[in-house]
Amino acid sequence: MLISSPCVVSLTWRLQDTLGHLIDELAEPVEFFYGGDDLLAKVEEVIDGQQAGFETQLQLEPEHAFGDYNPELVFFEERGIFPEHIEPGMQFDGLPEGATTQGMPNNVIYTITEIYETHVVLDGNHPLAGIALRLSLKVTDVRAASGEEIEQGSVGQPAFTVMNPAPAGSQLH
């Protein structure tokens, strides 16, 4: 079966930065919905019309992966609105309850990057924003999507989510 929308593809891959540092590896095949939100547009473009057994290597620039790093998504919040036990690397889906910062999007995942006595630094950029990536992937299987998968536009959780929107009132270029 050739890859065309909508279908389900099983992939393995190795994701590295341009220096060759391993970021992620799928050694066992994982299913993704092709024609929805499960895969990056550039990945879908490359595997379109291919079939099981297809292998390729991609260079993904930030604009084709997780977006450019946006310093406007880094800000301070009062330490008091966070639970007592927090540490760098913890993430919050949206702004923490009681957040005082105005104009920050509430539909991103924020990562705690630094903790001080009176405030916490939050970063709404995707951890891979601004980074060029190398992706080696292999299509191990292709199958027709079920009605439910087509309706949902996914077989589960997207593999790649771009979490780099502009703050309210600004524009990305």
Structure-token match 């540490």, residue found: 87
- The strand order across the sheet containing 22-34 reads 22-34, 7-17, 133-144, 55-60
Q: What average pLDDT is seen over the chain?
A: 88
**Is the whole-model pTM more than 0.85?**
no
Q: Which residue has the higher pLDDT, 171 or 23?
A: 23
Domains along the chain with CATH numbers: 7-66+128-152 (3.10.50.40), 71-123 (2.40.10)
pLDDT at 103: 83
When pLDDT is averaged across residues 44-48 and rounded to a whole number, the result is 97
pLDDT at 100: 84
32-60 as b/e: b if 16+ CB within 10 A: bbbbbbbbbebbbebbeebebebeeebeb
Classified as helix, coil or strand, 75 is strand
pLDDT at 40: 93
pLDDT at 124: 95
pLDDT in tens, 121-152: 999 999 999 999 999 999 999 999 999 999 99
pLDDT in tens, 3-45: 999 999 999 999 999 999 999 999 999 999 999 989 999 999 9
127-163 as b/e: b if 16+ CB within 10 A: ebbebebbbebbbbebeebeeebbeeebbeebbbebb
- State what percent of residues in the chain have pLDDT above 90: 76
Q: Which residue has the higher pLDDT, 27 or 100?
A: 27
